A and B are shown apart, each in its own frame.
Chain A
Amino acid sequence: MDGDNTMENRIAQDTETTEEILVAVDASPHSLAALAAAADLAALLGQKLHALYVEDINLLRLAGLPFCREVGSYTASVRLLDTRSIERTFERSAAAIQRSIERVTQTRRISYTFRVVRGGVTDALAAASQSATFVSLGRVGHSPGRRIGSTTQMLLQRLERPLLIASASAQLRPPFTVLFSGSPASRNALQLAVNLARKNERVLTVWIWAKEQSIEQIEELLRGLVSPLQGVAFDGVLVQTSDQLHTLLAQHTQGTLILPVDQAEWISSVETAVIVAP
């Protein structure tokens, strides 16, 4: 990471907390949604918000190469790229993000820090996520033709913190639903879901993912649920086929879904906000 120019941080609330939620922002509408979702989560968990804007170093380098051209994603017209305009884009974005953060945190009365770093986006995020309890990202990244951004995909590949994926139409909302498959990640997901459900006192829905499993295996699965769900109101749904899960996902239009990272492939089938647990 070169050119680490940190912006000063501000505290909007008296209560100081060391735990923070990292949100990666650029000026896109989806990342602003991620910002709002992260702010909601911070308010829910009583944590600080840490917003990070990565000025993509690769773009600057690209602009520095004399022969490189930008091909318009819609019109396919070829244009010259220059360093100045990229810099200006970065500055504009940072200012817009600053305004958004102020708006978002003011209404929720949470404190925040905002850093702008220059470097590789994934690396910078991975580094920053070390000190965070959660990472929040926008639903659609910049990779063309995909519903999950390349950054999200990269992060999922080396996930260490729970990842919140939200969009303008899919904000962090109760009730919470968790997919439990018995894997270590799904146990983490369940724990996370229980914590969130406790915070807002809503019934938790647990989809017990038992594809092609024997009765004994299912019993084993259910046993694994007993102690984490102690004292939580929940509904359990046994899901045994992919079609069944497809239907459940299609009907899941409200609330937030918590997936273990080993089941992250379902993200693209979900309309609501998603939290992926490591």
Chain B
Amino acid sequence: VTPVQSLTAEQLYRRCDLSAHAFASTAELEGLQEFIGQERASQAIDLAIRMRRRGYNMFALGSAGTGKLSLVRKRVEECAAGEPRPPDWCYVNNFEHPSKPGVLRLPAGMGRTFRSDMQRFTDDLRTGLSAAFESEEVQVRRQRLTEEVQEQQQASLVELQEKARARNLALLRTPAGLAFAPLRDGNVLPPEEFEKLSAEDQERIKNEVETLQQELQRVLYKVPGWERELRQRMRSLHEEVTGFVLNDLMDEVVKRYQDFPQVLSYLEAVRKDVITHVLDFLGGEKSSEAESESPMTQFLNGKANPRRYQVNLLVDSSELAGAPVIYESNPTYLNLIGRVEQFVQMGALFTDFMLIKSGCLHRANGGYLILDALRVLTTPYGWEGLKRALQFGEIRIESPLEMLSLTTTISLEPEPIPLDVKVVLLGDRTLYYLLSLYDADFNELFKISADFEDELERTPTSELLYARVIAEIVRKESLRPFERSAVERLIEHSARIVADSERLTTQLRAIVDLMQQADYWAGQQEATTVASEHVQQAIDAYNRRLSRIEEKMREEVVRRTLFIDTDGEKVGQINALSVVQMGNYAFGHPTRITASIRLGRGEVVDIEREAQMGGPIHSKGVLILSSFLRARYELERPLSLAASLVFEQSYGGVEGDSASSTELYALLSAISGAPISQSLAVTGSVNQLGQVQAIGGVNEKIEGFFDLCAARGLNGEQGALIPSANVKHLMLKQEVVEAVRAGKFHIYPIETIDQGIEVLTGIPVGERQPDGSYPEGTINRRVVDRLKELAEARRKAEAKEGERRRKPALRRQPRGRQASAQ
């Protein structure tokens, strides 16, 4: 077995050395705006931007703080600046179906012009019409028309009156009509006088009255016809006058929109509508009255809304330089799709095309829309709305309540607007994989995924690039310049964040936070630049803020409430290294593992599992170490021991296999009786062949044990055993590095169980001789000897038991079945 050399101080922490580059602080360093280590994501973004096909939307996935939004936005904005401006979109009244406003598409900037043209048209129309209808000509013609009809009526009545008078009859007004009566001296003949008349006279008068009544009826029957004719003639007069005013104004507008057939057909509709509704817009006073009237009153009066010729400029691209890039931070359904607002009037809800409001899909149409995936998914109907718009390639404004048929008020169905937008969703990996697994539409609509790296390889080149990124952050965040030493310390910390001396984190948010805090500490000390001490201070302060529980646990060990030995030797007892993750913060904490053996049939009892406190990976580790034992020692005879393993004073669950090597050491110690040094702590998982494999959280584990030893006073013997595969992950804190340098603490890189047990017991493990035996005094020999003893003991015990059982069996037959059942 190759003896194990403890690691040197240099192997515990890979320093960053930028001295080859001549800069004293970031002030002298050119900032790097590019994102480093995100080539994969960058290429994906570029592809997504260039693919001009439906469905090539993008999902940018990666951990928080990797700069997804910044990178996507930067790339998209660069690209959008060179793209053409999208058109303007206007909603206008649909005169035939007011509940279905129409949409007009105009070149960027023209929407505004159209809006003001229509406003001017409406104003001019109103003034023009008032002037025309108040003109003497129109007044006189109207009056003449009315008078003609009146005269016609009157003439008929006068004629009748004359006829009556000639017969000495009068036409009288009665409470509800007209009647003829015989006259005498200008007054109606009293009935009693009438009685005195001769029968012929009476009959004559009666007949005359009847004849005249019939004539009167004929005249009155004609009245509605005359009135209808009057209305018709009035209408054609109005049309003639309106047409005169309108044609001039309309031609002016039409001239400017010759190239837009859609606009022209809208203007034609306006022309027809004005003629139909001319009276609603008439007169200075009347029109202001109409405007001050509530829509409710207008509605009840059947009047046309004076806003009907206005233009709702929904999307105004006039001020854009290129294609729009919109980041919507609150992607609710209404903010995405747009809405139709309503207002309350006398208890009823009213709306019209002017109350259609755009959503971010409208504003991003022809460009790019960046959204936070989780937010879209957590707002009601947000995700459904977005998908539907993308699937059908159009924005159809519908209230979610209407979709659910929960509302029945008057509402609008605006004509949908064609959608051409590139949507970029930002989110974490879990969300991406969940969506692609469970939402069939997702893969159709978001064909490009930009996967952001969490780390990048640490090389001298990447370190320099990283330094330039730091310089850029300093500039952007307006921080004090960072000295070179501070930059080096930051890069080292970046490696520590990813727990790998050969990698750097791309989660710049953590670095930015640290830089801001280091800058604060520099400010506290009135320094003009940020030095490495300030960075260290920020790291320490961060750890201190989060280390309450860690300190409490260590305190309990020091006070011997929790039993952890850090010196001496014990059989079947070992210090395991474990790591506790509390939110963003992880810390190492040693745990005592003990093993006990007794006569048995080779079973290893994992007490954690028995108590249902061990996770499946932990159980698997225990099973692996049991099979290692069998493989190595059960060659000649079955294992005749039973062993129990336990994590002492563990009250929560145990998970992970990083203690499996540790448990194996404890077991070997218990079997062989070789005591284990309590100055050492162990981590590492083991395979069936006895190889020690890499584990996670190696830095925290070592530091946790070191802190405990340091609290009790280092005795020079103390140290930790780690898998040699983890050496490259070491980025230990300075105290540990210094203690190792001073020879007060040792870290042993272990490859096999044999190496480990030798370090722990100080006893050679012993190699298998050609005859199958192990040399005297070695661990293996002690194990084998002990196993032999146990086997012998078991054999004897079983023989005795067998004898005891056989005797009663002579008396009672069913005994055998009972035994086999045991």
Chain A interface (Cβ within 8 Å of chain B)? 57-59, 61-62, 64-76, 78-79, 81, 85-86, 89, 120, 142-146, 247, 250
Contact = CB atoms under 8 A, between A and B. Distances in A.
B187 A73 contact: no
Contacts of B176: 70, 72-73, 79
B392 to A, nearest CB: 58
Contacts of B546: none
A175 B175 CA distance: 37
Contact of A65 (B136, B181, B223): B181
A59 B174 contact: yes
B213 A62 contact: no
Nearest to A62: B181
Interface string B164-206: 0000001011111111111000111111101000000000011
B438 interface: no
A104 to B, nearest CB: 23
Nearest to B180: A68
Contacts of B192: 64
Interface stretch (B76-84, B150-158, B510-518, B589-597): B150-158
Contacts of A57: 187-188
A146 B154 contact: yes
User: Which range holds the interface residue count of chain B?
Assistant: 35 or more
A58 B178 contact: no
Contacts of B172: 58-59, 62
Contacts of B651: none
Contacts of A76: 216-217, 220-221
B181 to A, nearest CB: 4
A48 B67 CA distance: 93
Interface in B207-224: 209-210, 213, 216-217, 220-221, 223
Contacts of B177: 70-73, 79
Closest 10 CB pairs of A and B: A64-B191, A76-B220, A145-B154, A142-B173, A61-B188, A58-B188, A67-B206, A70-B177, A62-B181, A145-B153
Given A61-B191, A143-B173, A68 B181 contact: yes
A65 B191 contact: yes
Q: Which residue of A62, A72, A89 has the most chain B CB atoms within 10 A of its CB atom?
A: A62
B179 A69 contact: yes
B191 A71 contact: no
Contacts of A120: 186-187
Contact of A68 (B157, B175, B209): B209
Contacts of B181: 58, 61-62, 65, 68
5 contacts: A73-B178, A79-B176, A81-B174, A144-B154, A144-B173
A59 B176 CA distance: 12
Contacts of B409: none
B638 to A, nearest CB: 122
Q: Which residue of A58, A64, A73, A247 has the most chain B CB atoms within 10 A of its CB atom?
A: A58
A62 B179 contact: yes
A89 B177 CA distance: 14
Contacts of B170: 58
Q: Which residue of A64, A76, A146, A247 has the most chain B CB atoms within 10 A of its CB atom?
A: A76
A226 to B, nearest CB: 34
B139 interface: yes
Q: Which residue of A67, A72, A73, A85 has the most chain B CB atoms within 10 A of its CB atom?
A: A67
A53 B176 CA distance: 18
Contacts of B153: 144-145
Given A71-B216, A144-B153, A145-B157, A64 B190 contact: yes
Contacts, number: 97
Nearest to B182: A65
A73 B139 CA distance: 29
A57 to B, nearest CB: 7
Q: Which residue of A74, A81, A144 has the most chain B CB atoms within 10 A of its CB atom?
A: A144
Given A65-B189, A68-B181, A142-B173, 14 more contacts: A62-B179, A64-B192, A64-B194, A67-B210, A70-B174, A72-B176, A74-B223, A76-B220, A78-B213, A81-B174, A89-B175, A144-B178, A145-B157, A250-B136
A70 B150 CA distance: 22
A249 to B, nearest CB: 11
A209 to B, nearest CB: 20
A146 B157 CA distance: 11
A59 B187 CA distance: 10
Contacts of A69: 179, 209, 213
Contacts of A81: 174, 179
B141 to A, nearest CB: 13
A145 B176 CA distance: 15
Contacts of A71: 177-179, 213, 216-217, 220
B157 to A, nearest CB: 6
Interface in B753-775: none
Contacts of A145: 150, 153-154, 157
Contacts of B136: 247, 250
Contacts of A143: 173
Interface in B684-735: none
A164 B798 CA distance: 141
A146 B186 CA distance: 21
Nearest to B151: A145
A61 B210 contact: no
A90 B704 CA distance: 114
Contacts of B220: 71-76
A79 B180 CA distance: 12
Interface string B221-232: 101000000000
A50 B682 CA distance: 123
Contacts of B182: 65
A75 B139 CA distance: 31
Q: Which residue of A65, A74, A75, A145 has the most chain B CB atoms within 10 A of its CB atom?
A: A65
B206 A62 contact: no
Contacts of B188: 57-58, 61-62, 65
B440 to A, nearest CB: 71
A84 to B, nearest CB: 13
Q: Which residue of A70, A71, A145, A247 has the most chain B CB atoms within 10 A of its CB atom?
A: A71
Contacts of A142: 173
Contacts of B139: 250
Nearest to B161: A143
A120 B186 CA distance: 10
A65 B187 contact: no
A146 to B, nearest CB: 6
Contacts of B178: 70-71, 73, 144
Contacts of B213: 69, 71, 78
Contacts of A65: 181-182, 188-189, 191, 194
A71 B175 CA distance: 11
Interface string B129-153: 0000000100100000000001001
Nearest to A86: B175
A174 B447 CA distance: 81
Contacts of A75: 220
B470 to A, nearest CB: 82
B174 A62 contact: yes
A88 B263 CA distance: 66
Contact of A58 (B187, B205, B209, B223): B187
B374 to A, nearest CB: 67
A140 B186 CA distance: 22
A70 B216 CA distance: 10
A278 B342 CA distance: 62
A89 B175 CA distance: 8
A61 B190 contact: yes
Q: Which residue of B175, B176, B192 has the most chain A CB atoms within 10 A of its CB atom?
A: B175
A58 B181 CA distance: 9
Contacts of A67: 205-206, 209-210
Nearest to A122: B186
A254 B150 CA distance: 26
B179 A68 contact: yes
